[in-house]
Amino acid sequence: MAEVDLGFPRSFVEFANPDDPTEVFRCDLTWLTSRWTCIFGAGCPGIYESSPDAGCCTLGAHFSDDDDLNRVAQYVERLDPTEWELHDVGRRDGWTELDEDGERKTRAVDGACIFHNSRDFPGGYGCALHAHALATGLEPHTTKPDVCWQLPLRREFREVDPGNGETYTEVRIGEYTRAGWGPGGADLDWYCSSNTQAHVGADPVWIGNRAELTALMGEAGYAELSRHCERFVAAGQPVPHPAD
């Protein structure tokens, strides 16, 4: 399937964070009103041809900070062998490791994250932490590493001086494109956010990923974003995502 070129026009909206007057959200309406959806287990060929069933879980997940690690660790303790295929391996040898730069991440075992359950596993295919959340009535973003539930959403912060010397923090909410991975992004055999194959969602991103966006922006911030998205769609999506 076709992956659209980066650099296409986008429409943004800016509004003050209702919960923090020192912050301004800058949101990519083109991305948030697009029909992207995760197609893991429904046609996703994986980021590497060598591990098609692993989706984007091939390398393991880096933790954003100690709070992220400690939060996930609480749920790892709750997993049992019926829901985590590599339970015994993780308990025996540990479920984290250090990368070449000394950063903590989930272990990669046989070409996939240690929490990735194979298609033949009786407990279910896919992420054990994700499945545990669904089975216990939790939102998956509460049990998984930050990088797993945020992608391909991207939140960035930068300090802005409008010229009067009174700076504010710009919080950008947008698409984590292939380019966002830096030079390594070019090495991925397939990437979803700008691929027409993944722009098949029943709901646009701002609705389908409400829980994740609320976690990133807060309830009031998400409510304001939703209003802007609705207006953008009502106007005919003047700057649509080309992968749609």
Comparing C-alpha atoms, which of 52, 42, 56 is closest to residue 201?
A: 42
Determine, yes or no, domain membership for 125.
Answer: yes
pLDDT band at 1 (very low <50, low <70, confident <90, very high): low
pTM above 0.75, yes or no: yes
CB 171 within 8 Å of CB 25: yes
The answer to whether residue 22 sits within a structural domain is no
Within a domain: residue 203? no
Q: How many domains does the chain have?
A: 1
pLDDT category, 111, cuts 50, 70, 90? very high
- Residue 88 domain boundaries: 58-155
Percent of the chain with pLDDT over 90: 95
Q: Is residue 87 part of a domain?
A: yes
